[in-house]
Chains A and B, each alone.
Chain A
């Protein structure tokens, strides 16, 4: 019987090429017309540490980590055991390894999976070739697994060439040869892992971090201030060359304090600007986030969340910056917080964030997380493009002196670009009067706070507040990377005859209370799922009376992702 999906792990020590194996396997599947998703596990070493790539491919879109893996492919056994807790296996899992690598270590063997022997080193290669070119065990494994799943050799070869093409023809050819040797070794294993036929369509192979960057470019961001931080660095590394070619620029700040202020300076000058960070950097930026709110300067702030607090776990996921994103800053400092619903949605949500910040003149935080950001997925091309919204810059007809922060009329007041004659104004972080001059009176303080609050209160995200899937009187409320597993859980429950609604919240602040109330119509049981210990979203919902007090909170820390079965077990 052919399968709808298959989940494979490639694991090995530093230099074994586990990541490349996963990437080639995923790309071959994408070229063959399948969907898929890959996440990665690393040891703590900076370079050369053991690693594992976790790949699921299938006929239908994949947005969640699988409950278990069908195959565990060991490129070698060196220190691989440490990943055991993060790679669920069972007695139907296949453990594929080269007997030359030694026995299966106890941490992997305890799942009692069936051990399959596969000689992965090329018998025909000379020792000199191996010394010069490496053993390419990873390509052999990727090719073999791809063939077991029924992926055609042309797509396996194409995927290897795409991965190695930039390294020269010799390297690409040698790797292709090993991958095809792996494919040819597949039939002898007599394993049935064949996937059902795919639906061929144009697809994208994209990571969440790349999708955020793409959305920013689509929205018109042409200035980025940033500082390296895991797991957000690969976002700006992909972004930098593309931004430069589009006439924009990226400035590497000396720290996050500089990064956000570089971006604010550029934005004041009229260029849509963004900064990209993770929790520790976000904490440093908070004072200047308050400035952007007080002085009403547009800014997209991307937080690719990692496990915290403090340095936490740099390379692993958690959804624990909700409080910081929604409330972080001294004083009353309302802002907009958006969270993408999937890897692909990172693009549309970030593009929308650019439009919202430009039109409201209030910073917009894009709350991604490591699980979304560093997952690579095969998706339908992102055609969802929010309608552009522009910054209000025309102050024509205004009185003199120009009242940048006028409090009567529209809460969104024109911010003429520097260079415009007769409209000079000061972006002011002190409590200011309508003309932007410092003012410390109670009445003006309240008037300016109310002006800024009104921008947020009157903001209507329309259909973009979130997405509702499914029916039923039980609702799972989720955001970010927990949406995928929640939807997969609901799908399985529906198959078992239990209808469950999933409410995926994109707009975390201001809470779309009205839309939520409508989405919750007829719901008797609400389960709020999030990956932090204190129920940060749950408390935010309760505080806004967006859910009743008997709503249930399922909150646990990262970095282990929510798996669909965990949610099914709770809800059922």
Chain B
């Protein structure tokens, strides 16, 4: 009798494994340029997941196309490297089908805000319980330097001489307006600070969006100065949607930290089975 109970409780007891950041590295060599901000994001993710405590097999990294979207191949977790712009849709489908998994969608500003912009809005609106990390370097890097939705209007490039002339997209304001539950900004130059945000975002229910300033030193060498420009956000407006919106609209884009936390419900989970195929087929009787 006692034996039976012992066995049963041992089987249901969660296994306590201790992970190290390097347990989450695949060992593959990144295609990124030396000095790319994305190395810092990779380090931040590895450290965050080690701290978070779920094993590589329980995590799926989902991405689209672009330099930063190569990240799933550099981690030892499960991964889904899909087509350009559609990572959030694939990640949402996966999370809804498999709520037991930890789903993290990663990508860049072109992938997430331009070709995938519609999915960004509607994923915020659905608010699935998953994390989205955007490595924003305000440029299309893989295609060698075209302006993205977050590029400054006067940034000169071959494809837009003299600048694109458009006001940059404000992803944080859009995320808050569209219904994301957690909105934060991190910096790739501070992997530890970023790791804390990632753990926090993973724990917060609903859709957590972390915009990471991740310099492209190849096509935007001036972004090296970002390390001097970033600073922790001084205002605490986390729970106030209107105040958080005002903050991210007025901000120069270099305030770091959690900028908004909401408590909106996620898209509803699947329901328990309550019918049989036999019952379904009986409906076809005339």
Contact = CB atoms under 8 A, between A and B. Distances in A.
A206 B283 CA distance: 9
Contact of B77 (A267, A378, A424): A424
B135 to A, nearest CB: 18
A204 interface: yes
B124 to A, nearest CB: 11
B225 interface: no
A223 B285 CA distance: 26
A105 B97 CA distance: 56
Interface in B25-56: 26, 28, 31, 55-56
Interface string B254-280: 000000000000010011111101001
A36 to B, nearest CB: 10
Contacts of B286: 27, 30-31, 159, 162, 203-205, 378
A247 B270 contact: yes
Given A258-B89, A261-B93, A262-B93, A418 B101 contact: yes
B230 interface: no
Contact of B62 (A162, A203, A265, A381): A265
Given A257-B89, A419-B58, A217 B280 contact: yes
A199 B188 CA distance: 75
B97 A204 contact: no
A288 interface: yes
B138 interface: no
A269 interface: yes
A429 B101 contact: no
A263 B79 contact: no
A253 B95 CA distance: 15
A287 B57 contact: no
A265 B91 contact: yes
Interface stretch (A66-74, A75-83, A238-246): A238-246
Interface in A395-453: 418-430, 436-438
A214 B28 contact: no
Given A419-B98, A419-B100, 14 more contacts: A204-B286, A214-B284, A245-B275, A249-B270, A251-B93, A254-B121, A258-B119, A265-B62, A265-B80, A265-B97, A266-B93, A267-B93, A270-B98, A421-B55
A214 B278 CA distance: 11
A113 interface: no
B185 interface: no
Given A246-B273, A261-B93, A204 B284 contact: yes
B141 to A, nearest CB: 16
Interface in A198-233: 202-206, 210, 214, 217-218, 222-223, 225
A160 interface: no
24 contacts: A204-B285, A206-B284, A217-B277, A242-B275, A258-B118, A258-B119, A258-B122, A261-B89, A263-B93, A267-B93, A267-B97, A269-B97, A271-B98, A273-B93, A288-B83, A378-B286, A381-B281, A418-B60, A422-B57, A423-B57, A426-B72, A428-B79, A429-B81, A438-B73
Interface in B129-147: none
Contacts of A437: 26, 28, 73
Interface in B206-260: none
7 tightest A-B contacts by CB? Answer: A265-B93, A426-B79, A30-B286, A266-B97, A262-B93, A261-B89, A265-B94
Nearest to A265: B93
**How many A residues touch the partner, as a band?**
35 or more
**Residue from A206, A255, A258 having most chain B Cβ neighbours under 10 A:** A258
A308 B80 CA distance: 34
B205 to A, nearest CB: 19
A528 interface: no
A502 interface: no
Interface in A359-400: 378, 381
Interface string A254-282: 11011101111111111101000000000
B90 A265 contact: yes
A361 to B, nearest CB: 14
B273 to A, nearest CB: 4
B115 to A, nearest CB: 9
A14 interface: no
Contact of A264 (B57, B76, B90, B273): B90
A271 B97 contact: yes
Contacts of B270: 244, 247-249
A47 to B, nearest CB: 26
Given A424-B77, A437-B73, A269 B274 contact: no
A291 interface: yes
A425 B82 contact: no
A264 B100 CA distance: 17
Contacts of A268: 60, 80, 90, 94
B96 interface: yes
A418 B273 contact: no
B92 A265 contact: yes
A247 B273 CA distance: 4
A513 B218 CA distance: 54
Given A251-B96, A255-B118, A424-B56, A262 B90 contact: yes
